[in-house]
Structure 1
């Protein structure tokens, strides 16, 4: 790479009155952009991939755009990958009649899209992705008859997709994903649309039959919405599709025969819906199919074995309880023949008759058994599962598993109890037992809150609870405990701030690599997104911190400790969250500042805690460190260091020893720049999550998406090993 400019853009740039191309992209420029009003001859302005802007601290920092209205032949403005904040001025609608491309992605722009943008009648490309833009999509965009590419993904846009977008016949690329859009699915009814991504919104209703008109469509992604319909048979007309993602909706019905015409399909994801019926045989014949996900539906019958079904790393069918057969590795039950089914029905009839007569005898002893149970209750504690699928463990079993709750098995002490490692002698399973200290004020409430939260939730990034034990111990005292799946790698706190002494067992201290930190941060974001947006009623964790993130053998993150959890009943004017938030403490350093003023718990409060956690994971600094005093916080510390000192504030563990291939001294300049850029983006996400004003915080689903983008970028540059 050649020489890079640094510092601010000089005011003297306005003297270059004959300039036609101002191309300053890929430098290290900072600060505000001066007025360009004197540059009447400009055709193209490129400011991308710098550090320009103030991150939103100056609401008018985009006012320089108005000076470009003097450039009557301006065609292209490229500003993505900076720190521009504030709102877009309405004056952009006064750009030249020849203006064709506006790229503002990957900034911190807020406010609404000005409707005046509809005046740019020659506009062909509009990118505003990865910002903080809110409000509706202006219907005036439907006036842009030449628009070919529209990307508004990863913002906070709300309202419906304006029907006027159906008029954009030149559009071939439309991405509105990761917003808060609601209402019906809208897309151009005619034209050459190739890419359509409406995922991660709140769109409802049906997938329109008019999809048949998009004969050139290559990618269709409407996942993570609330669409409720059958797959329209007309989708089979889109025979050029290579990617079809319908997962995480309310789609139902069988897979229609018309899908058999999608012979070019490479990825088909129908998971987490209500599809039923048999899996059609034609899926075996899709020779280009590289990924097929049918998980968590109601499919039944025999699982095919040919084609993609023979590749267990490409096919996913978990959560379909009535499937049988298939490759042995799927571990599905063997399929039962019709003759076997007939014999089974006869057997069931005989069994039913026997049961009826048996019940007569059982009735005679029920009273005796019930009385005996009551007598024994005091001496033999009972264990009640959180749901019917969980096994029961008595107090005596837990006592034996933990060697009498021995201090040698103590693995943690929390606000309301202690956690012990245990070994079940019956099956050899290792468990973690959280024993509540019922003498502590709030412990019983914590137990009930955790049971309430855990009984109806299930996610790979939430700590798996096995059972809840509630009864009396051998002294006759009340006993309550929660039993969890044991996490062999402990908690995130131990890895971020390990004991200075080396681990005797393995001969080295705990260290987290860059890849592990990225993955864990994504895991935690997924867990929060599930709690906030995918449960029947939103669940607010209220105590997110490193010690409550547990790590399994594969270093996958699991969020645990739901003792302060609040379930928000959004349909009620007086939410359970606000009723129970009085006196909420959380943990100093991670608790959202508005809680101190009595504000009710909220998703935004969890997002604040996540932001602090993310900053801690990459700086290696605790928010309660002694260095943070006199109005200096972890948030402010990171904010002041950006954009030029991202590496200097990063945990040095990432640049030496186990990460020697990531050493800033050894990296080629280009890879070094990518690492710098990705670290800065991580910090921007952490800062955007932990801003003081709740409504300005980034939503957790967008956090996960942006972190995935960072991971892909680092992987492409071979910076993740």
Structure 2
């Protein structure tokens, strides 16, 4: 056999164009894992006896030679991890000649720049084809149902593309299939039950799509399944118990970031060979079953972001090899099992934001504060000093106090007579003074207060140099209470504004019980008289050192502090932060709170660029709106800002969740296009929503903020806009001169998909009809899905290779 193989030698340069003529009897040629560039020589077709051609992981570009179709003995063609297809708008036509290679078994074309619609004649490839790799490209359209005719397929990789539509039921005919990769696309609809016919399947990856419906019970018929990943979709309903009976599951079982409900069944203990279970970010309820301790080889258990309740299973201590446990953001109660400190392999334990109580162990993972998170559990005590938890002495003293319970009961009984008498006297007094108290403003109850003098000194006499913002209900100043303390933000209410006094009380009451990492936290308040003898009311908030989102989006050229701007990941994180805060106000507070004036200047950033929603000066608890405002709901400024306010508000509509969603949608569109909704180009019925909706998807590059694009795409987008201006075409229409500014070699597939998906959310939130807008809970999940997909691709390096 004539063979030429020089893999992994860091060789550079191009291949000789006459290589096939020079080696006419060549049967194997492998130069994978080098740094060769240029085009693939057409002359390979002259080596008519060629059986294996491996050129993976180089820098080859251009077309796949159509002449490869003359290599009738070729059974392996490996061209993955190159830059092939980078210069053509639709470059999958080379597949047609390859159908003549009747011996083809392995066709590797993944991680290139192929784009266009996958043609149906892909099913005409050799009947002997066993491995088909097309992942990591920019292939769009539907997945051809004809793929089900490739009966000998063992591996089908279509991941990380732009496929849309449903998963063809015909894939259920691939009875020999062992690995199916459809993840990181834009597939929708339900998971077909025909997947249950793939009884030889080892790996099933359907994550990072838009799949809906329930998890098919038929997946349990895949008796050889080792990896099941259907995370980051829109699945609903309960997890079928039958799937937990798949003893073959050993590598990964994840349904995270969906909308699943119901309990985690006791059958989870049947997964005795599983390495990772990830059911995080769903709506699962009930107790975590004790049978989880039967998963003896489990190393990663992720259940965060659900509604699990009850105590932590004591059987967790049986997981001797577990390394990573995350139960955060649930409703767990009771004490932390002390035996968890004996798990020597455990390096990370997150129990934050539950309702756990009792003493925290001192050894094992609990000794390493970087490996344990207990935030949001106010009843915990003890632990190592660096955790800064309260001591447990009070808890222990309660046991001693129970010894005097009988004495306490006797004292209470004796005192009850006197209390009854006092109560009768107080009742009479209250009746006599009822008329007087009804005209007084409600009190601030338990909120701690600060004096006017301290605030006056902290803000240098409310100096203009300390002013950081103004609004319809007052001004905000930066202040320093003490030299060693962190800065504060002092919101001084304009008491000349109608309803301001009531606004102050309403805002205090609304904020005192509101706790969310993405809401600006109220520290204290002041209700006093200033040095002029006038009434003074102010709120004191955390100071956000990085300023407002407004400045980061629009003042980058004018302020050196903001000269770097915001990158794509930062904007994604901010969008998620704001969505999480509004979702909390709408759905997770004790009472529904409508913000009413969501806009970039009301989104503040801390020193870690975490977003915090601010300005509840116009917010009201909806249940108290009518009574507290006495019909003043139409006061100027109470229903938002022009450009951000929902259209129904202009027609007298009441503040609503849907109104906040509209404002959020406009904010998202502004974040990713860099255009304000009040820019001059928007007039009459042409607004920011229409500007984006009319442009997608073909003209994405022209409307997106240029700082988010590669330089080449930015330059071409600028050229296109200049041509539009010359042709007096100010809308997002076409021009007489066509310039390729969309997908292709200017913007990678994963960046294109990320931007399109985010802008589609902005459009869906800012629809004119309130009933058609998204729910904030769904918005949060969708954005987390988009961010996770983007990060995973960037971290894998695939995103860089497709640029």
Counterpart of 1:688? 757
Q: Which moved more, 1:237-246 or 1:698-707?
A: 698-707
Counterpart of 1:233? 290
Task: List per-residue Cα deviations over 1:332-386 (Å, max 9, x = no partner).
Answer: 22223887335434778669759866896798689989999998999x987637x
The 8 Å contact of residues 556 and 564 in structure 2, kept in 1 or not, is answered as no
State the alpha-carbon separation in 2 of the partners of residues 202 and 221 from structure 1.
14
Q: Which residue among 577, 587, 606 is the counterpart of 1:535?
A: 587
Displacement of 1:240 in angstroms is 0.3
User: Residue 377 and residue 424 in structure 1: after superposition, are their counterparts in 2 closer, same or farther (change >3 A)?
Assistant: farther
User: Residue 156 and residue 231 in structure 1: after superposition, are their counterparts in 2 closer, same or farther (change >3 A)?
Assistant: same
Is 1:284 equivalent to 2:341 in the alignment? yes
Is 1:465 equivalent to 2:517 in the alignment? no
Is 1:518 equivalent to 2:562 in the alignment? no
State the alpha-carbon separation in 1 of the partners of residues 527 and 111 from structure 2.
58
Long gaps (5+) in structure 2: 1-34, 40-59, 624-632, 716-744, 765-771
The alignment covers a number of residue pairs equal to 663
Counterpart of 1:307? 364
Task: List per-residue Cα deviations over 1:646-667 (Å, max 9, x = no partner).
Answer: 3217999xxxxxxxxxxxxxxx
Q: Which residue among 368, 378, 384 is the counterpart of 2:444?
A: 384
Counterpart of 1:215? 272
RMSD after superposition = 5.1
The 8 Å contact of residues 444 and 509 in structure 2, kept in 1 or not, is answered as no
User: Residue 83 and residue 607 in structure 1: after superposition, are their counterparts in 2 closer, same or farther (change >3 A)?
Assistant: farther
Alignment of structure 1 residues 291-690 onto 2, 5 Å: 291-336=348-393, 340-345=397-402, 384=444, 390-392=447-449, 402=459, 405-414=462-471, 417-424=474-481, 430-435=487-492, 457-466=514-523, 482-498=539-555, 509-512=561-564, 518-519=569-570, 521-529=572-580, 531-532=582-583, 535-536=587-588, 545-561=599-615, 588=643, 600-601=658-659, 603=661, 606-607=664-665, 609-614=667-672, 616=674, 639-640=701-702, 646-648=709-711, 681-682=750-751, 684-690=753-759
State the alpha-carbon separation in 1 of the partners of residues 274 and 192 from structure 2.
25
Larger Rg: 2
* TM-score, normalization by structure 1: 0.75
Displacement of 1:105 in angstroms is 2.4
State the alpha-carbon separation in 1 of the partners of residues 260 and 69 from structure 2.
50
State the alpha-carbon separation in 2 of the partners of residues 98 and 38 from structure 1.
20
State the alpha-carbon separation in 1 of the partners of residues 499 and 142 from structure 2.
46
Displacement of 1:163 in angstroms is 0.6
Displacement of 1:263 in angstroms is 0.2
User: Residue 492 and residue 247 in structure 1: after superposition, are their counterparts in 2 closer, same or farther (change >3 A)?
Assistant: same
Alignment of structure 1 residues 182-261 onto 2, 5 Å: 182-186=236-240, 187=243, 189-194=245-250, 195-261=252-318
User: Residue 134 and residue 455 in structure 1: after superposition, are their counterparts in 2 closer, same or farther (change >3 A)?
Assistant: farther
Displacement of 1:123 in angstroms is 1.8
Is 1:118 equivalent to 2:172 in the alignment? yes
Q: Which residue among 771, 783, 797 is the counterpart of 1:703?
A: 783
State the alpha-carbon separation in 2 of the partners of residues 449 and 15 from structure 1.
75
State the alpha-carbon separation in 2 of the partners of residues 696 and 51 from structure 1.
35
State the alpha-carbon separation in 1 of the partners of residues 91 and 649 from structure 2.
38
The 8 Å contact of residues 701 and 713 in structure 2, kept in 1 or not, is answered as no
The 8 Å contact of residues 135 and 156 in structure 1, kept in 2 or not, is answered as yes
- 1:109 is paired with a residue of what secondary structure? strand
The 8 Å contact of residues 592 and 609 in structure 1, kept in 2 or not, is answered as no
State the alpha-carbon separation in 2 of the partners of residues 693 and 153 from structure 1.
24
Is 1:77 equivalent to 2:132 in the alignment? yes
State the alpha-carbon separation in 2 of the partners of residues 32 and 440 from structure 1.
62
State the alpha-carbon separation in 2 of the partners of residues 471 and 280 from structure 1.
49
Displacement of 1:292 in angstroms is 0.7
Counterpart of 2:160? 106
User: Residue 277 and residue 681 in structure 1: after superposition, are their counterparts in 2 closer, same or farther (change >3 A)?
Assistant: same
The 8 Å contact of residues 279 and 302 in structure 2, kept in 1 or not, is answered as yes
State the alpha-carbon separation in 1 of the partners of residues 531 and 442 from structure 2.
12
Displacement of 1:7 in angstroms is 8.3
- 2:272 is paired with a residue of what secondary structure? coil
Long gaps (5+) in structure 1: 54-60, 503-507, 570-578, 653-675
Counterpart of 1:90? 145
Counterpart of 1:58? none
State the alpha-carbon separation in 2 of the partners of residues 373 and 393 from structure 1.
29
Q: Which residue among 169, 172, 190 is the counterpart of 2:223?
A: 169
Is 1:49 equivalent to 2:49 in the alignment? no
The 8 Å contact of residues 692 and 703 in structure 2, kept in 1 or not, is answered as no
Displacement of 1:211 in angstroms is 1.9
Is 1:147 equivalent to 2:201 in the alignment? yes
The 8 Å contact of residues 595 and 660 in structure 2, kept in 1 or not, is answered as no
- 1:412 is paired with a residue of what secondary structure? strand
Displacement of 1:269 in angstroms is 1.2
User: Residue 524 and residue 483 in structure 1: after superposition, are their counterparts in 2 closer, same or farther (change >3 A)?
Assistant: farther
Displacement of 1:24 in angstroms is 5.6
Counterpart of 1:666? none
Task: List per-residue Cα deviations over 1:523-578 (Å, max 9, x = no partner).
Answer: 54144145338933898867655433322234433233457879999xxxxxxxxx
Q: Which moved more, 1:356-365 or 1:165-174?
A: 356-365
Task: List per-residue Cα deviations over 1:143-192 (Å, max 9, x = no partner).
Answer: 11111111111222221101101111111111111222122223252332
- 2:139 is paired with a residue of what secondary structure? coil
Task: List per-residue Cα deviations over 1:36-69 (Å, max 9, x = no partner).
Answer: 344323544444334444xxxxxxx535144434
Q: Which moved more, 1:625-634 or 1:24-33?
A: 625-634
Counterpart of 1:661? none
Displacement of 1:78 in angstroms is 2.7
Displacement of 1:223 in angstroms is 1.4
